[in-house]
Structure 1
Amino acid sequence: MPDVPIVVLYVSEHYLRGLPDERIWSESYQKPFWINLIHGVHSVPLTLLGVLVGLGLAAPELTAFFASALLHALEDLPVHNRDAHRHFLPLSHYRFISPLSYWDVAHHGKTVALVEALLVLVAAGFIWPRVSTPGHAALVAVGVWYAFNYWKTFLR
Structure 2
Amino acid sequence: MNTPAHLLIGAALFARPSQGRILRAVLIGSVLPDLSLYLMAGVSLFVLGIPEQVVFGQLYYSDAWQTVFAIDNSFLVWGLALVVALWVGARPVVLGASAGLLHLITDFVLHAGDGRPQFWPISNWVFHSPVSYWDSAHHAQWVVPVSITACAASYVILWRRGLDASTKMFFGVLLGAEIWVARQWLVFF
Normalised by the length of structure 2, the TM-score is: 0.74
SS of the equivalent of 1:155 reads helix
> Which residue matches 1:75?
106
Moved more, 70-79 or 28-37: 28-37
Q: Which amino acid aligns with 2:168?
A: H
Say yes or no: does 1:86 pair with 2:117: yes
Q: Is the 8 A contact 2:135 2:186 kept in 1?
A: no
> Which residue matches 1:108?
139
Pick from 61, 64, 79 the counterpart of residue 92 of structure 2.
61
Q: Which amino acid aligns with 2:92?
A: E
RMSD: 1.8
5+ residue gaps in structure 2?
Answer: 1-30
Distance of 1:9 and 1:115 partners within structure 2: 30
Moved more, 37-46 or 126-135: 126-135
Q: Which string of whole-angstrom CA distances, capped at 9 and with x for unpartnered residues, describes residues 68-94 of structure 1?
A: 101110111111111111111122222
Q: Which amino acid aligns with 1:86?
A: P
Distance of 1:136 and 1:7 partners within structure 2: 24
Deviation of 1:11 after TM superposition, in Å, equals: 2.3
Q: Is the 8 A contact 2:69 2:117 kept in 1?
A: no
Q: Which amino acid aligns with 2:137?
A: A
Q: Which amino acid aligns with 1:59?
A: A
Q: Which amino acid aligns with 1:104?
A: D
> Which residue matches 1:48?
79
Deviation of 1:47 after TM superposition, in Å, equals: 0.7
Distance of 2:143 and 2:132 partners within structure 1: 7
Taking structure 1 as reference, are residues 26 and 120 closer, same or farther at Cα in structure 2, changes over 3 Å only? Answer: same
Distance of 2:71 and 2:37 partners within structure 1: 12
Distance of 2:68 and 2:53 partners within structure 1: 20
Normalised by the length of structure 1, the TM-score is: 0.88
Q: Is the 8 A contact 1:102 1:109 kept in 2?
A: yes
Distance of 2:112 and 2:123 partners within structure 1: 18
Distance of 2:104 and 2:67 partners within structure 1: 15
Q: Which amino acid aligns with 1:143?
A: L
Q: Is the 8 A contact 1:43 1:89 kept in 2?
A: yes
5+ residue gaps in structure 1?
Answer: none
Q: Which amino acid aligns with 1:107?
A: H
Pick from 100, 117, 120 the counterpart of residue 151 of structure 2.
120
> Which residue matches 1:129?
160
Distance of 2:68 and 2:159 partners within structure 1: 32
Number of matched pairs:
156
Say yes or no: does 1:25 pair with 2:60: no
Deviation of 1:136 after TM superposition, in Å, equals: 1.1
